[in-house]
Amino acid sequence: MATVKFTKEHEWIRVEGSVGTVGITDYAQQQLGDVVYVELPEKGTAVTQGGQAAVVESVKAASEIYAPVGGEVTEANAALAETPATVNEDATGKGWFFKIKIANPKELDALMDEAGYAAFIRGLG
């Protein structure tokens, strides 16, 4: 079964084995508004925990997407280049950004679980 963790920068990572799928949360896409462009990392790119990995642009702003954990990008969601609005339609499903081979699973311990993230965004209101 997949484990999902969240960052304070509103990224999520769904972990299955040693690979994590990364995207932005529904809260983040709502704050951004209509997504019009996504810049994704190339396969093989090394990322560090908290380091910039991608960019998302909306009608309101451009935002960096940070890697929840360090590792190597194994795949980018090429479909987002054609239809970036998928991020708005299905942020935690088809709107994923990239997959990463996790270098150090212990880095996941620094992230929030779903209940912790829900409490975190309630505190932002």
* pLDDT at residue 33, rounded to an integer: 95
Pairing state between β 11-16 and 19-24: antiparallel
Domains along the chain? 3-106 (2.40.50.100)
The Cα–Cα gap between 66 and 107 comes to 14
- The answer to whether residues 98 and 40 touch, using CB atoms and an 8 Å cutoff, is yes
pLDDT of the chain, 125 residues: tens digit per residue: 689 999 999 999 999 999 999 999 999 999 999 999 999 999 999 999 999 999 999 999 999 999 999 999 999 999 998 999 999 999 999 999 999 999 999 999 999 999 999 999 999 97
The Cα–Cα gap between 87 and 2 comes to 21
* pLDDT at residue 2, rounded to an integer: 82
SS3 72: strand
